[in-house]
C-alpha cells in the first residue's frame, strides 16, 4: 500500500485529534476539568463534542453511535480543499477506505481510511469556523487547550515515515532516522505529527494518540496528582508524563 508522489499533497493540514468514547458527557466533563474549560449539557442526540484548541487543531470526542458495524475509529482528522481528489488518490494508492465518502450537509464532506499501520484517519473538507470558541476559564491553567502533537502508533517506523511523507507532501529528513523509536513532522498549525513505534511503552494497555501542552510541566504534574488522576508513566526527563482517562485511554502531557 503506497501513496503516489503528486505535485500537490493530499492534505492541507491537520484538523485535530479524535478520541472514541463510550460515555460522551462523562468524558467531556473529565477533559473539561483537565483543560479547565466549561462543558455544557450535551444534547443526547449529539454523538460528539469538540474542544476548541487555541490554534484550531481541535480535540473531538465521539461515541460513533452511527458506526455500529465498525470496531476501529479515527484517531485524527486531516484537512483537504478537494475531498473528491483526496478520495480518488487515497483509493488509487490501495489504502482501505473504511467509511465511504459522506456529505451530511453543504459545506461538509468526509471519509475514513487506513494507514499502513492500521490506524484509521478521517479526511475532511469543511467550511465551518467556530465564531465563538470556548476558552479556558483560567488562562494560567498549567495544561493548555493546545495539542502539542498528534501521535500515530506504528509497527514499522520506516514504512510509516515514507507513507506519511507522501500523504503530507513533506520530504523525509534523514537526520531524524537515527534508529530511535520516533519520527516527526512539523505542521504549519503548530501541532505536529509524531510517529512512534512505542518500543518504550509496551507496558501501556493503550498507546497515546495525542499530546497536550503544558505551560509548566511540573505544575501540570502537581495538578494531575491533586486531582487523583491515574498516572501511568511518571515524569520523564522533566519533559513529559502519561496519564489515563476514565475509559482507559493514555494521554501524554508534555512541556
CATH 3.10.180.10 assigned to domain 143-254? The reply is yes
Contact yes or no for 254/240 (Cβ under 8 A): yes
Q: What is the DSSP string of 59-106?
A: EEEE--TT-TT-S--EEEEEE-S-HHHHHHHHHHHT--EEEEEEEEET
**Per-residue model confidence (pLDDT) at position 68:** 83
Model confidence over 55-71: pLDDT tens digits?
999 999 999 999 888 89
Q: Name beta bridge partners: 41.
A: none
Model confidence over 173-222: pLDDT tens digits?
999 998 999 999 999 999 999 999 999 999 999 999 999 999 999 999 99
| Grid cell in block for residue 217 | 510541566
| Grid cell in block for residue 105 | 450537509
Question: Which class for 155: exposed (0-12), middle (13-18), buried (19 or more C-beta within 10 A)?
Answer: exposed
CATH 3.10.180.10 spans which residues of the chain? 13-126, 143-254
**Per-residue model confidence (pLDDT) at position 9:** 75
**Homologous superfamily of 13-126:** 2,3-Dihydroxybiphenyl 1,2-Dioxygenase, domain 1 (3.10.180.10)
Rounded to the nearest 10°, the torsion over CA 38, 131, 122, 66 is 60
Q: The pTM is what?
A: 0.93
**Per-residue model confidence (pLDDT) at position 129:** 87
Query: Which regions of the chain are under pLDDT 70?
Result: 1-7
Amino acid at each position: 500500500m503506497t501513496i503516489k508522489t503528486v505535485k500537490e499533497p493530499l492534505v492541507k493540514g491537520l484538523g485535530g485529534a479524535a478520541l472514541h468514547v463510550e460515555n460522551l458527557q462523562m468524558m467531556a466533563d473529565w477533559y473539561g476539568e483537565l483543560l479547565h474549560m466549561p462543558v455544557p449539557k450535551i444534547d443526547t442526540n449529539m454523538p460528539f463534542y469538540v474542544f476548541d484548541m487555541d490554534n484550531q487543531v481541535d480535540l473531538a470526542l465521539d461515541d460513533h453511535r452511527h458506526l455500529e458495524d465498525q470496531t476501529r475509529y479515527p484517531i485524527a482528522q486531516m484537512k483537504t480543499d478537494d475531498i473528491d481528489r483526496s478520495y480518488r488518490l487515497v483509493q488509487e494508492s490501495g489504502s482501505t477506505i473504511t467509511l465511504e465518502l459522506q456529505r451530511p450537509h453543504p459545506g461538509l464532506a468526509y471519509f475514513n481510511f487506513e494507514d499502513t499501520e492500521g490506524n484509521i484517519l478521517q479526511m475532511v473538507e469543511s467550511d465551518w469556523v467556530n465564531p465563538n470558541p470556548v476558552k479556558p476559564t483560567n488562562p494560567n491553567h498549567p495544561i493548555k487547550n493546545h495539542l502539542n502533537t498528534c501521535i500515530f502508533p506504528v509497527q514499522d517506523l520506516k514504512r510509516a515515515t515514507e507513507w506519511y511523507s507522501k500523504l503530507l507532501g513533506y520530504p523525509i529528513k534523514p537526520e531524524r532516522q537515527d534508529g530511535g523509536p520516533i519520527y516527526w513532522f512539523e505542521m504549519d498549525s503548530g501541532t505536529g505529527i509524531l510517529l512512534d513505534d512505542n518500543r518504550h511503552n509496551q507496558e501501556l494497555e493503550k498507546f497515546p494518540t495525542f499530546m497536550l501542552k503544558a505551560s509548566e510541566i511540573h505544575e501540570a504534574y502537581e495538578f494531575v496528582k491533586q486531582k487523583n488522576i491515574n498516572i501511568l508513566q511518571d515524569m520523564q526527563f522533566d519533559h513529559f508524563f502519561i496519564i489515563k482517562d476514565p475509559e482507559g485511554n493514555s494521554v501524554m502531557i508534555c512541556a
